[in-house]
Structure 1
Amino acid sequence: MMKTIEYYFSPKSPWTYLGHERMLELARRHGAIVEPRPMDLARVFPLSGGLPLDKRPPQRQAYRLTELKRWSQHLGMPLIVQPRFFPVDETDASKMIASVAKAGDNDGALKLSGAMLRAVWAEERNIADAATLIQIADDCGLDGAALHAGREAGADLYEHHTDEAIRLQVFGAPWYVYRGEPYWGQDRLEFLERALAGD
């Protein structure tokens, strides 16, 4: 049976950024396919009682920064804990990713996802800006202008992934599903790898 990881995420999530390449690497090691499923966290969060960052109590906001620094250092990954362009509207970025996946280019969609994440958290770029999105896609070997102009082609898939995430009771990002079992957060990748290895 084919090993498939269903990958629910937002291209503006720092935790998704911290786990993205590690998740792809463990999938490669275990011969698994990763299906990128960008979702609208603004719709997903409230259903579980989650709050946008600016609505969280100050002690939670402060600890989030501590954890981001800690994980960045632990993984040896560059991360700007308070980037200039965050919070940011990720809608167009997500639709572009969904458009690439819908066209059958799974690897291209995953590459673009990683580039969007790096743009926010390592490069301090604005993924709500059209020119930036086009350049990021071009750098991934895609036709950025055409992809951005036709991004609404991915709107239905983006909405479908969000609806599916809600049905599956997803409440954060990244969220991995393997053999019907959920794993929330990049700090659960070890458990996901154990499940893959067990098969």
Structure 2
Amino acid sequence: MARIDYYLSVISPFCYFTGTRVAEIAKQNGADLVFKPVDIMSLFQRTGGTALGDRHPSRQAYRFQELARTSKKTGLPYHAKPMFFPTNPAPASYAIIAAQDAFAKTGEGDLQALVFSLLRACWAEQKDIAEDAVVGDALEAAGFDRGLTFTGMLSGAETYVRNLEEAVEAGVFGAPFWVCDDGEMFWGVDRLNDLDAHLKGDL
């Protein structure tokens, strides 16, 4: 079975615009999708990226245009300036990691639903995904134990750090970023069709 490592940031609008499509692509192509939340600011620092607030005004202005266009193309509503952005991405990231571990053991829960729920909470629902209650609600709605916000904190923190190191080693420099087990890499929501074509053997 092919494997796709999905490096994501829970505060990335373009990860939000990915929706559930990457999970659908993986399923259609018989690929195993592994979620790897990363600290996007640390990733930028390690790979030559620039924090949003430090970018030239022209780059920031273009980003707003691109967000609006991507929202229309995907049909996903969003707030250009969410009430709770930026926020601490660690709690939600830890929860995804803990849920993925729990799923590996029990086969219960919907990981993609959890990831999308947290991203939607930030970008469409004006919620702070650094709050335990918000993360707990997302876990519960996706079929996981809301207590994972606490029981999975230690292992989540360790894996979160390891994900960053793996991302840098793999050549990842942004999010969403997909790395296939054959070494092919795809960056950005606008490369989902290319990922699909590659898995089908057409690209």
TM bucket, shorter chain: over 0.9
The answer to whether the 8 A contact 1:102-1:157 is kept is no
Code of the aligned partner of 1:15: F
In the alignment, the residues of structure 2 paired with residue 3 and residue 55 of structure 1 have an alpha-carbon distance, to the nearest angstrom, of: 38
TM-score by length of 2: 0.91
Structure 1 residue runs without a partner (length 5+): none
- Where 1:83 maps in the other structure, the secondary structure is coil
TM-aligned CA distance change 1:106 to 1:16, over 3 Å: farther
Residue 9 of structure 1: how far off its partner (Å): 0.5
In the alignment, the residues of structure 2 paired with residue 98 and residue 176 of structure 1 have an alpha-carbon distance, to the nearest angstrom, of: 17
Tell me what 1:156 maps to.
158
The answer to whether the 8 A contact 2:3-2:33 is kept is yes
Code of the aligned partner of 2:2: K
- Where 1:198 maps in the other structure, the secondary structure is coil
1:131-170 alignment to 2 at 5 Å?
A: 131-144=133-146, 146-150=147-151, 151-170=153-172
Listed one character per residue, the Cα deviations across residues 134-164 of structure 1 (whole Å, up to 9, x for unaligned) are 12212222221x1111222211111111110
Code of the aligned partner of 1:155: A
The answer to whether the 8 A contact 2:71-2:78 is kept is yes
Greater CA deviation, 132-141 or 111-120?
132-141
Listed one character per residue, the Cα deviations across residues 35-90 of structure 1 (whole Å, up to 9, x for unaligned) are 11111112110122211111111111111010000010112111112111111110
Q: What percentage of aligned pairs have identical amino acids?
A: 38
In the alignment, the residues of structure 1 paired with residue 170 and residue 38 of structure 2 have an alpha-carbon distance, to the nearest angstrom, of: 12
Residue 107 of structure 1: how far off its partner (Å): 5.8
TM-score by length of 1: 0.93
